Amino acid sequence: MKVVSCTELSFCYGKVKVIDNVSFEVLKGESISVIGPNGGGKSTLLKLLLGLETPESGTLKVLGQRAGRSRKKIGYVPQAMHFDPAYPVSVLEIVLMGRLDRLVVGSYSKQCRSVAEQALESVHLADFKNRPFSALSGGERQRVMIARALACEPELLLLDEPTANIDLSAEEQFIEALDALRKDMTLILVTHDLELVSELSDSVLCVNQHVHRHSLPLSGETIREIYSGRRRIEHDRKTRHHQGDHSACNHD
């Protein structure tokens, strides 16, 4: 089953083209890392998948529907959550935010609370449910954000730089929590963390206006081409050539 089907997709911010004629697929159960240079379009691609931005041209289907219509079936973990640390909100209350669309007459049902508690269990934070969210470490907060995304019972989980704000001591537990989720759903994660890529991914989407898919492991040469400003254009041309697109080639 195709969880994501993207065909000749383009998107612009004003006159600046961010995504250019992109086509790719993500199948059910895959774990895909999205990598590439800053400003290459990675976060924009997530916004398109969520239906928060509208393509200029091309088609994008998520879980068999036009992007945006399947949003209730998608869990999203942002890079960081901005909140007032003085506001008294518990861990469980944060996770229950993932059930807001099921809120009835101002209160959550027993089923909603049960699903939220199961989500906390899946990230090994069940004992933290009554703690203040502000009292948690960066890694614990990020796992709570995953639990909030899981509370909507998603088929697809999107994560934007999930390890960007946690320290190395918490990263191993975080990776273990994500690894366990791979068995039950499709994952797409934007990251610069190459260890996370190697630990969790089946393959990689390199996003830099165009999108190229790479198998793992990535060679050192490929990594240098992806992130080196001087070599990105050549990497794009070579990859498109190997994939049968010769529009950027200078064949005789």
Examine residue 130 and state whether it is found in any structural domain, yes or no. yes
User: Which tokens is 204 given?
Assistant: 């990689």
pLDDT of residue 193: 84
What's the domain range around 195?
71-204
pLDDT of residue 177: 84
pTM check: above 0.85:
no
Q: Are residues 62 and 77 in the same domain?
A: no
Examine residue 225 and state whether it is found in any structural domain, yes or no. no
Q: Are residues 63 and 87 in the same domain?
A: no
Per-residue pLDDT of the chain (252 residues; tens, 9 = 90+): 899 999 999 999 998 999 999 999 999 999 999 998 888 899 999 999 999 999 999 999 999 999 999 999 999 998 877 777 778 899 999 999 999 888 777 788 999 999 999 999 998 899 999 999 999 988 888 889 999 999 999 999 999 988 877 777 677 878 888 888 888 899 999 988 888 888 889 999 999 888 989 888 877 777 777 766 544 455 555 555 555 554 555 555
Helix (H, G, I), strand (E, B) or coil at 29: coil
Q: Are residues 15 and 77 in the same domain?
A: no
Task: Answer with the one of 204, 222, 247 that is the final residue of a domain.
Answer: 204
Q: Are residues 14 and 76 in the same domain?
A: no
CB 53 within 8 A of CB 47: yes
- 């994500």: which residue's tokens? 178
Number of domains within the chain: 2
pLDDT of residue 242: 56
CB 71 within 8 A of CB 100: no
Q: Are residues 65 and 80 in the same domain?
A: no
Which DSSP category does 108 fall into?
-
The conformational region for residue 251 under phi > 0 = left, psi -120 to 50 = alpha, else beta, is beta
Those residues whose C-beta lies under 8 Å from the C-beta of residue 149, and which sit 6 or more positions away, are: 75, 76, 77, 98, 157
- Distance CA(44)–CA(50), nearest Å, equals 10
Q: Are residues 5 and 125 in the same domain?
A: no
Examine residue 176 and state whether it is found in any structural domain, yes or no. yes
